[in-house]
Amino acid sequence: MQKGSIRVQTENIFPIIKKFLYSEHDIFVRELVSNAVDATQKLKTLSSLGEAKGELGELRIDIKIDKDKKTLTIADRGIGMTAEEVDKYLNQVAFSGAEEFLNKYKGQNENNIIGHFGLGFYSSFMVSDKVEVITKSFKDGAAAVRWECDGSPEFTLEEVEKIERGTDIILHLNNESEEFLDSYKIQSILEKFCRFLPVPIFFEDKQINNTTPAWTKKPADLTTEDYQQFYKDLYPMNEAPLFWIHLNVDYPFNLTGILYFPKIKQSYEIQKDKIQLYSNQVFVTDEVKDIVPEFLMLLQGVIDSPDIPLNVSRSYLQGDPNVRKINSHITKKVADKLEEIFRNDRKSFEEKWESLGLFVKYGMMTDDKFLEKANKFLVMEQAGSEAGKFFTLDEYKLATETLQKNKEGKHVILYTTNPVQQDAYIQAAAAKGYYIVKMETLVDAAFINTMEMKWENVQFTRVDADIVDNLIDKSDSNESVLSKEESEKLKSLFEEQKSALHITVEVKGLSSDTLPVVATRPEFMRRMKDMAAAGGGMMSFYGNMPDEVTLTVNGNHPIYKNILGNEDADTQQKLVRNLADLALLSQDLLKGNDLTSFINRSVELLEGAPKKSPIITL
């Protein structure tokens, strides 16, 4: 038996490893299983080169729990090690001076460690009082050896009997880590980190992994059913995806994977961090923001690349040119796929737009290269009676060239954020020949602001931002049939209405079939409040400001002759107040006590205005 000390310059190495090596102790299972896979893959390679003689037999990895002995064993039938190799690989801390390791990384964030020291095996000491390694090399005549260490620099190395080639790592778990004797715990860890490893992995006599997942195969070898089944394997509770993109690049970087566009029916269904990052089929993380462009974080699926630099726990990405190249490649592939679908099957593209629109708009706001391509396939759905009809930006400009260009020469895109609530405004605008499009998703408030800066000569105006005569250009030529005295009297009646809102009243002569009162909210302030409601932050300043509302009184509506001719001042005030409340109701600005008062007042007027208000229970 050989005894000795691991060649380190301090006895602090193992405590530091235990404390700083990994942020999650579960990771040790992945590291040890990954090492076992590497040993197996190396044996396959040597065999193919004729350097490993004889039959390889069944190549598999077995994980076993012994609750009585408090041990967890990871056993492979791979390349194995000789006594000299054990001494070299286990006793020298991956060729790096431990003193350098301690001096450089002690007290720092553990995310910076790897890549320099290759410390995967030593993760076993995070959970163990003692670690045994029993191994036999594939080399002819090599004797099996057992290495043992209790977490101090002291170790023993001796020859033992072992029939099969390969390595068994036996962890004698410490008292704080007895949770890893729970088969459900180990099963869940294996399913998370090892479910797609390329070597069969058995736990409790059951194989837990798929060694040839869909992304490792050629697209030509996969059917639609194969892609959909793989998606179901990844996300068993989700609906079938809209479509997918198969990534397969080997130069100038290695990248494989499948990205799926999920169905998103409502904005609140948006979920990020659903893309899984793998390195040679080993799960790394589902936080891929440095690899995948921000707007594509809404996608789902798998990316696998051995060219992405990782830290010790393989859970955080480091800045690297390959990462930027991969990011750009994924953006281009997604844009090309969307353009292809739009060009080849526009009807299908439009049918999927409810879900696709979120991806496309988000991308156009955050990525100028994507914006350039997306300008060709962004579509906007028309509102009102023509709902279901879609325009690209160029098509909308062409359709509205005559009626919807303002004095500055800008194309005015009229939009609605709520086609049901804003129906009266939509109908009024449509009656003038205007085209109104839907902008009702979570990202649209920010999208509109961003596109006004990025698109040339385009202005967005919400359909209820002003009276219909002013939606394209302001006009002061609306003359009322009322006399000056009547107009001033009518304005004063409306200004008497009490409200927590900041209300401005104007009397104009609109067409007689226009509503008696139209409530509008300034485009800028309403936009800021919408963005505040969606995102908060700096926008919360606007969110706390009172709503500004303009009540445009249509002096040409015949109802006002009757109101002004009514000699009962009380009834006159109630009628005006009701008209104002109806206008505010159309903007969803009548709430609480004001809404209750409106209902009670309406009943009074219908009953002939009794002296006492009836009590209404809502």
- pLDDT digits over 47-71, tens only? 988 888 888 999 999 999 999 999 9
Q: How many Å separate Cα 431 from the centre of its chain?
A: 40
Q: Going by C-beta distance under 8 Å and a sequence separation of 6 or more, which residues neighbour residue 526?
A: 462, 465
Q: How confident is the model at residue 142 (pLDDT cuts 50, 70, 90)?
A: very high
pLDDT at position 618 = 39
Q: Going by C-beta distance under 8 Å and a sequence separation of 6 or more, which residues neighbour residue 507?
A: 480, 482, 487, 490, 491, 552, 553, 555
pLDDT at position 113 = 38
pLDDT at position 267 = 54
Closest CA to 125 of 230, 201, 27: 27
Nearest-Å Rg of the Cα atoms of the chain is 35
Q: Going by C-beta distance under 8 Å and a sequence separation of 6 or more, which residues neighbour residue 497?
A: 503, 576, 577, 580
Q: What angle do CA 538, 265, 460 make, to 5 degrees?
A: 50
- The Cα 494–Cα 559 span in angstroms is 14
Mean pLDDT, rounded, for 343-361: 91
pLDDT digits (tens, 9 = 90+) for 603-616: 888 877 545 444 44
Q: How many CB atoms lie within 10 A of CB 298?
A: 20
Q: For 453, left (φ over 0), alpha (ψ -120 to 50), or beta?
A: alpha
- The Cα 582–Cα 186 span in angstroms is 64
Tokens 């860890």, located at residue: 189
pLDDT at 179 over 90: yes
DSSP symbol at 292:
S
Closest CA to 233 of 212, 219, 254: 212
pLDDT at position 519 = 87
CB 392 within 8 A of CB 378: yes
Hey, what's the torsion of the CAs at 112, 115, 121, 125, to 10 degrees?
-20
Percent of the chain predicted with pLDDT > 70: 83
> 88-97, 140-149, 283-292: lowest mean pLDDT where?
88-97
SS3 content of the chain, % helix, strand, coil (to 5): 40, 20, 40
pLDDT digits (tens, 9 = 90+) for 512-523: 778 888 888 877
